[in-house]
Structure 1
Amino acid sequence: HGQRLAQESHVDADLVMPFPDSGNYAAIGYARESGIPFEMGMIRNHYVGRSFIQPTQSMRDFSVRIKLNPVRELIKGKDIIIIEDSIIRGTTAKTRVKALRELGVKKVHMRISCPPHKFPCYYGIDFSSKGELIAAEKTVDELRVYLGLDSLHYLSIEGMLEASGVKNPELNFCKACYDGDYPVPFDPEFTKQCMG
């Protein structure tokens, strides 16, 4: 996905870095395709789980604060490209971008290795309402401003399918959280009751 992302959204920068660990492999692919050096500009605390699935906003905020720590020596005064696997609520991205700016990063570009999550997942992932999805509420440019980025780009649905090697996406690939086309009918009231 990272290589395709670089093809779709090249930008000049000093380094490519992931928000570990979810962006690691896409960042490596982006760096290889773009020719921009890859660096681990953040160190992840592996004892903290996925922040976006924490049950309350205060727990998500706390998780983000202790989860990722920037390496000042690698990033200060640089133009960087951050690669992330997704933006769900925006909690992690906003907090980390602010921390990077405070450390003296010149430009912060973010590239997301999937399309924007605009629709709820009724099949088990914990973002069950559209109101929880920041990409459903904001345009890409509004989200760029909200997060404090110099540029923001998501991988296209077509790019994701091609990078995944999907030959017949209508038969074997759920894209409902990206395009709202749910492959299996569902009852929203039943789903809310089952998922709490």
Structure 2
Amino acid sequence: MAEKRKVNPWLKAALEFGPLLVFFVVFTRFKDTQFAIGGTDYSGFVVATALFIPLMVVTTAILWRLTGRLAPMQIATLVLVVVFGGLSVWFNDPHFFKMKPTLIYLIFAALLSFGLLRGKPWLQLVMDEAIPMRPEGWVILTKRLIGLFVALALANEVIWRTMSDQAWVNFKTFGLTILMLGFFLAQGPLFSRYGLPKDGD
């Protein structure tokens, strides 16, 4: 098993969210611009996606180099970004990239559900070091997170199918992050009730 190394949290946050912010800035700047490349016209959305993919690969590789490991969520996200982002660029169609959050949230919900059916809250394997809790706490948190992932997948579908590109980009860049942060902040009572003291506490 690869050794997990500590990294400056600000640097880690910059590497994790930097590509998304670059995508937001490039799209916002060039959303009404058409780029003629190789005889084909590409929208600002597709160009921003084309820049986002290699940047995501590079920052993920740097994270792996610095920390010595990658979480399953990071690996799955990178794979889906490359596949669906690549399809959007290849077919010059933003719809593929917009579908990516739906698929990744449904995959996570399915995996967590499968773990619960087997009596193993897999979320504990990923987060137990950061949030030590009793087993019943992990079961409750897993069920709540499954519900959140399904709700986010549905929200993404509604937004990209019914609203503008700018609305979807705003939702992906800021909305999803705020909702996830708000969800975990709202779990304070759960962590207090079922939490276990860390070593040294």
Q: Which has the higher strand share?
A: 1
Q: Which has the larger Rg?
A: 2
- Tell me if both proteins adopt one fold, taking TM over 0.5 as the criterion: no
- Compute the TM-score of the two structures, normalised by the length of structure 2: 0.28
Q: Which has the higher helix share?
A: 2
